[in-house]
Structure 1
Amino acid sequence: MALKRVNLRGRKSPAALAANDRRPPREIIWAKIRQLQTFTIDQVATPARVDRSSARTFVFGLEKAGYLVRLDPNPDTKELRFQLAKDAGAAVPRIGKDGERVTQGDLRAAAWRAMRSLKVFTIRDLHVTSGISETDAKSYINYLVKAGFLAYRLKSKHAGQVSRLAFIESRFTGPKAPQVTSIKVVFDPNVGEVVWPIVGQDAIEVAP
């Protein structure tokens, strides 16, 4: 029987395709889980380019939240297998390592919408408008300024002065809120890229 010749020129290997996948790691892992249905931790960690311990933490959280069931009852088994039990769709379940729903992302998404609506605002404005805590708002704003999404109209220099910030409309790339990852980089899910830190990038300042 004659063998069919397949032209592989120009095709990318699975490893190359994985390297070019700019989605957040959790999004890649969740998509792989939905694709495989039954899987091992290595099978979802490899395409996401994360170590096994990080992938395991997320998988265990999904298990505790009821999205997965463990097929191998022995916790000492090296190759634990899991099966998708509850498919919530393409959106990644927002859960912590204990399986509890994470609300910080929801609050930051609400704060992001409020920033664009208010245009110029204080941390207190964001807290009242979106429900985000002032502590988290301050942290989130710090990274958004570094990434150029926001700029200070007035930066507090003493205790009685309140900082005011401006939303930079030209930096708006879409409705999804920029994400501050666990390794402290700013990821823009609208364009699928890390937007801070970038060599040579400075925060934008707006004159009062």
Structure 2
Amino acid sequence: MSSKSNAKRQQSMSTLAGDVSPRQRIWDAIRHQHAEDGLITMQGIRIALKRQDDLPESLVSDYLRALIAGGFLERSNPDALPATTAIYFLKRDVGVEAPRVRRDGSLPPPPGREQLWRTLKIIGTCTGQELADAASTVVTPVSRAAADEYLTMLSRAEYVKTVREGKPGVPARFQLVPSRWTGPMAPQIRRTKQLYDPNTGEVVYSRVTKTEGGEP
């Protein structure tokens, strides 16, 4: 494969392995095939996933149908016989993040944490309350507590820097470090108090447990 083709392939994928959702892996495989030759098939998705038995075919088929209903995919031979290999085309490529499309093709509102992450990129410096206010929508309000927790974890992973230390009566101010914007998918806080970045497929922060006590 030429270096140009390899670069194109890399741009079309977030990751085909690692701790990502089944839908994200399927979407990665779809965009990979699209970048290769524009034709998308179930067999091609399986090859791109490289795990033939990992995801049930019914799960892949359900997501393909949802993507068709949402206008992301189009089947070139919808009237073909059942035994005919289905061929799809990527009609609407919305980027590396897998569409969270429902079965009927409708899109749910983005989770609050994703609203926080995307707002960080445009808001400049902010306190937890300011970030929560800017990220909130009528459908998905975001609390100050949620914003404070997210900023704390992002700060520990050095995704944001402290512009002003907090003190009684004066909240801390934070700012996204431009070089740490890794992509549109919000870094995820795990139950184990790790921060996982789905854009890079890496755990970027893990809380270190001390002999007595631990990090707050």
Identify the residue that residue 39 of structure 1 maps to in structure 2. 40
Please state if 1:25 is matched with 2:25: yes
Secondary structure of the structure 2 residue equivalent to 1:38 = coil
Distance 1:140 1:127 in 2: 6
Amino-acid identity (%): 9
Q: Is the 2:116–2:131 Cα contact (8 Å) retained in structure 1?
A: no
Verify: 1:173 aligned to 2:180, yes or no. yes
Choose the corresponding residue for 1:107, options 102, 106, 115: 115
Quick one: structure 1 residues 108 and 199, their matched pair in 2 at CA, closer, same or farther if it must change by over 3 Å? closer
With normalisation by structure 2, the TM-score equals 0.52
Structure 2 partner of 1:94: 99
- Unaligned stretches of 5+ residues in structure 2: 1-14
| Distance in 1 between residues matched to 2:153 and 2:207, nearest whole Å | 12
Shift of 1:64: 0.7
Q: Is 1:64 paired with 2:72?
A: no
CA contact (8 A) 1:63 1:69 kept: yes
2:196 maps to what in 1?
186
Question: Which structure 2 residues correspond to residues 142-181 of structure 1 after superposition, within 5 A?
Answer: 142=149, 145-146=152-153, 148=156, 149=159, 164=171, 166-167=173-174, 173-174=180-181, 176-180=183-187
Deviations 1:78-102 (A, max 9, x none): 8862311524375556341332235
Q: Give 1:128-139 correspondences, 5 Å limit.
A: 128-132=133-137, 133-135=140-142, 139=146
Tell which structure's C-alpha radius of gyration is larger: 1
Instruction: Provide the C-alpha distance between the structure 1 equivalents of 2:92 and 2:116, rounded to a whole number of angstroms.
Output: 25
Aligned residues: 177
Aligned to 1:84: 89
Structure 1 residues without counterparts, runs of 5 or longer:
1-17, 156-160
Render the CA deviation track for 1:140-160: whole Å, top value 9, x for unaligned: 7645644534699669xxxxx
Give the whole-Å Cα distance in 2 for the aligned partners of 1:79 and 1:140.
50
Q: What corresponds to 1:7 in structure 2?
A: none
The 8 Å contact of residues 62 and 95 in structure 1, kept in 2 or not, is answered as no
CA RMSD of aligned residues (A): 5.0
Instruction: Kindly indicate whether the alpha-carbon contact (under 8 Å) linking 1:177 and 1:188 is maintained by their aligned counterparts in 2.
Output: no
1:122 matched to 2:128: yes
The residue matched to 1:101 in structure 2 has which SS? coil
Match of 1:10 in 2: none
- Following the alignment from structure 2 to structure 1, what is the Cα–Cα distance between the partners of residues 176 and 215? 12
For the structure 1 residues 129 and 87, does the alpha-carbon distance in structure 2 shift closer, same or farther, using more than 3 Å as the test?
closer
> For the Cα contact (< 8 Å) 2:128–2:144, is it kept in 1?
no
